[in-house]
Amino acid sequence: MKLYVDGIGLFAPGLHGWADLAAILRGERRYEGGELPAFDHAVLPATERRRAGKSIKLAVDLAGQAVRAAGIDPTEPAIVFASTTGDTEVLTDICAALATEDRMISPMRFHNSVHNAASGYWTIAVGSRQPANAIALHERTAAAGLLEAAVQVVAEGIPVLLAVYDIPFPPPLNAAEPIATVFGASLLLRPEPTTHTLAELTIERTKEDGGAADTMHDPELETLRRGVPAARILPLLQALAGDSGTTVTLDYLAGQCVRIAVMPVRTAAHNNPNNQANQTPEAQP
């Protein structure tokens, strides 16, 4: 499958936006982690901002970053939101409520617990009527989300917004399903190149044939990759930050992997990621 990357979003401890991570991946500075940045979820109406949980705010932030960077009307792309466990804080609250005598669950908590809640908030906020999928495949969620988005781009010939994200479980469920921290990345994928295109991707699902998934050379980024399922997408982001073609491998189902050939496309956006991350969208969400 051949497709193109027009916009990238990023959220991680100490990082907010593709320009922050790209500078690290190009070796211009070291990743040192840090505090979580504030979510940019201003696109949500005031009522929805109050109702939205952390996972939804993260997904909306990532979606907004990618569409702004790509200069695309946010109502145009189809949507694939990929998260290992969705809103872990809401799920923990519901499990705690079910463990009480009255077993009463807040309707709003239940509303936000469904796996496609984030895509619902986003499509309502921007007025999108495009297809929206929510997907999960445990530690292979990043690869599964990328495959799902790529198939839609190629089969339907439409742009697709992919957001991959995870937040940790609070205690006590964090002991059963440890997720190290908050992390998310987003890609705006297109079937044809545009003036915003950063790279061409050729994606195939293949047998592992002895080749393990790529890792990160930076120990801090490798700790992030191993500690958060969504961060398994980091090797692809590292390839996108480079200035030469390369191939990366993401782990997938047992005996299979997802192999991605990345070829940079020279545009003004690629040459200056600061500008790329702050381009004015054709239509604001």
Task: Check residue 178 and report its DSSP letter.
Answer: -
Cβ contact 112:134 at 8 Å: no
Q: Name the domain count of the chain.
A: 1
Confidence (pLDDT) at 245: 94
Beta strand residue intervals within 66-209, DSSP E? 78-82, 132-135, 160-166, 183-190, 199-207
Establish if 183 belongs to a structural domain: yes
Establish if 260 belongs to a structural domain: no
Residue 139: which domain range? Answer: 2-201
Establish if 102 belongs to a structural domain: yes
Confidence (pLDDT) at 24: 95
Confidence (pLDDT) at 210: 58
Establish if 229 belongs to a structural domain: no
Confidence (pLDDT) at 278: 43
Within 8 A by CB and 6+ apart from 37, the residues are 11, 14, 15, 16
Confidence (pLDDT) at 113: 82
Nearest one of 173, 176, 178 to 92, comparing CA atoms: 173
What is the chain's pLDDT, residue by residue, as a tens digit (285 residues)? 999 999 999 999 999 999 999 999 999 999 999 999 999 989 999 888 888 889 999 999 999 999 999 999 999 999 999 999 888 888 888 888 888 888 888 787 777 888 888 999 999 999 999 999 999 999 999 999 999 999 999 999 999 999 999 999 999 999 999 999 999 999 999 999 999 999 999 999 988 765 688 999 899 999 999 999 999 999 999 999 999 999 999 989 888 899 999 999 976 555 555 444 444 343 333
Establish if 179 belongs to a structural domain: yes
Establish if 266 belongs to a structural domain: no
Look up the CATH number of the domain holding residue 8. Answer: 3.40.47.10
Q: Which two tokens stand for residue 207?
A: 């047998």
Establish if 78 belongs to a structural domain: yes
Q: Which two tokens stand for residue 69?
A: 């960077």
Q: Which two tokens stand for residue 204?
A: 């195939």
Pairing of strands 2-12, 199-207: antiparallel
Helix (H) or strand (E) holding 260, with range, is: strand 256-264
Cβ contact 24:205 at 8 Å: no
Within 8 A by CB and 6+ apart from 271, the residues are none
* Predicted model pTM: 0.90
Confidence (pLDDT) at 280: 39
Cβ contact 184:64 at 8 Å: no
Establish if 64 belongs to a structural domain: yes
Confidence (pLDDT) at 279: 45
Cβ contact 270:198 at 8 Å: yes
Confidence (pLDDT) at 79: 97
